[in-house]
Amino acid sequence: MKKQKSQRSTSMKYKNAADFLAFIGMSAIVLSVVYITTPKTADPLTIVLFILLIIPTIIALVSGAPFVPTPMHIGKKMLELGKIKHGEKVVDIGCGDGRLVYMAANEFGAKAIGYELSPVVYAIAKIRQLLWRSKAKIKFGDFRMHNLSDVDCIVTYMLPDTLKKFIPKFERELKSGSRIISYAFNIGDWKPIHIEPSSAEENRSKIFVYEIGKHAN
Ligand SMILES: C[S@@+](CC[C@H](N)C(=O)[O-])C[C@H]1O[C@@H](n2cnc3c(N)ncnc32)[C@H](O)[C@@H]1O
């Protein structure tokens, strides 16, 4: 009992430390953007901050997934197609401004996590989190550095060539029965369990639904 209590308080401490670091990181990003965009002659600090901010953004662009948010009504449709149950772990592997992650947590009761590679977009997501008052987590960095073995549902909006590169990781780590909901683009030659047709009325493209275990062609 005592041991459990001390384990719980240790994990609380780590959680608070992670939140604190995320807050510091976000503040540093916002201050850097403000500093860079303030009119003045470029000094070495401006150049260093600009490079630090722009590198991950370029990586995101080169990796084939620039920041283009999914309209909210389409995000909701994706989460419905994912048949997300209360308490399930939902991950957006490139979460942009966090909209799908916040919706998954607030409206579907999911334990939602979003990863975002671009610092500026990450900062926008953290600001949006305050507006949504969401308990979802947004983590700065490349989702490929994180293990996906306890994830129940992935939502994604990335280009097909990018998605194709993730197949080995998905097949290695995702458990049988977990779902991937991909907006607009298919995942390599995987077999979807469902394709939601595009709709001119709703102004949306197709939505591909995959389930690990039933995805092989
Ligand atoms: C097309 S946007 C989609 C944003 C969000 N999922 C949505 O539907 O509104 C893709 C985002 O993924 C991010 N991204 C690309 N590769 C990533 C990676 N390996 N890890 C984390 N984020 C990544 C990009 O910076 C970009 O913001």
Q: How far is the CA of 41 from the centre of ligand 1 (A)?
A: 33
Same domain, 192 and 124: yes
Residue 1 vs residue 164, higher pLDDT: 164
Residue whose entry in the numeric block shows the structure tokens 């384990």: 7
Same-domain check for residues 133 and 196: yes
pLDDT tens digit sequence for 171-206:
999 999 999 999 999 999 999 999 999 999 999 999
Q: How far apart are CA 150 and CA 173, in angstroms?
A: 9
Number of domains in the chain: 2
Three-state secondary-structure class, residue 140: strand
Q: What is the pLDDT of residues 39-48, one digit of tens each?
A: 777 788 887 8
Among 168, 141, 138, 143, which residue's Cα sits nearest to residue 158?
143
Residue of 78, 145, 158 with the most ligand 1 atoms within 8 Å of its CB, for mutation = 158
In a domain, 67, yes or no: no
Query: Given 62, 83, 107, which residue is the final one in a domain?
Result: 62
- Residues 39 and 90 both lie in one domain: no
The pLDDT of residue 45 is 81
Can you give the CATH number for the domain in which 131 is found? 3.40.50.150
The residue range of the domain holding 142 is 72-211
pLDDT band per the 50, 70, 90 thresholds, residue 26: low
Nearest one of 100, 101, 143, 136 to 118, comparing CA atoms: 143
Assigned domain for 24 exists: yes
**Same domain membership, residue 126 and residue 28:** no
Q: How far is the CA of 175 from the centre of ligand 1 (A)?
A: 22
92 lines ligand 1 (CB under 6 A): yes
Cα 165 to ligand 1 centre (Å): 14
d(CA 130, CA 198) in angstroms, rounded, equals 33
Q: What is the pLDDT of residue 11?
A: 46
Which of the listed residues 17, 43, 62 is the one where a domain comes to its end?
A: 62
Say whether both 128 and 182 belong to one domain. Answer: yes
Has residue 216 been placed in a domain?
no
CA distance readout (Å), 12 to 102, 114, 115, 130: 22, 21, 22, 21
